[in-house]
Amino acid sequence: MRSGRILMGSALLGVGLLATPGVAEAAPAAGSCVGGAFWGRPLSGAKVSPGQTIRLRLGVEVTGGPVAGCSRDVLLSGPVSFVAAGPSGAYWPATSLGPMAEVAWNSSFPAGARLHGTITLKVQATAASGAVITATSGRAVTYTVR
């Protein structure tokens, strides 16, 4: 996990003065990435089967000014395997908080932009009946293995 990361998302920004010969001008106001919607398909509370795919949908809104990129992290627990994250992303199987997946948006975005991403998980084939799967990013989405 990189230093400075927050669970709801982070903005990768360079703030300072832009200099041109004979002119110094302040950079645009720094923006931030604020966590928005977070839900899963199937919907939270559903019973899932071993081998079933779970798609977590998450959003971020850019506020305050432009940003050079955003990310949003999701803590995972239970018998699931990471499949993919998009538009870009990463997976850390063992952080101090547990397994964590991240969706990243690696471009410049203006204030007011609403970004959407997906994390795809698969319920492990060996998952025991009654096991609980939880994904947390601002709020929790839970599933029970049938």
Kindly report the CA angle at 69 between 68 and 74, in degrees rounded to 5?
160
The two structure tokens encoding residue 87: 């538009």
Structural domain total, the chain: 1
Structural domain harbouring 91? 30-145
Q: Three-state DSSP class for 63? A: strand
Q: Is the pTM of this model over 0.85?
A: no
Q: Worst-scoring range by mean pLDDT, 15-29, 45-59, 74-88, 101-115?
A: 15-29
Rounded Cα gap, residues 68 and 7, in angstroms? 18
Report if residue 1 sits inside a domain. Answer: no
Rounded Cα gap, residues 74 and 139, in angstroms? 10
Report if residue 12 sits inside a domain. Answer: no
Split at pLDDT 50, 70, 90, the class of 130 is very high
Rounded Cα gap, residues 89 and 106, in angstroms? 10
Helix H or strand E segment including 82: strand 80-86
pLDDT of residue 30: 85
Rounded Cα gap, residues 55 and 85, in angstroms? 10
CATH number of the domain residue 70 falls in: 2.60.40.1510
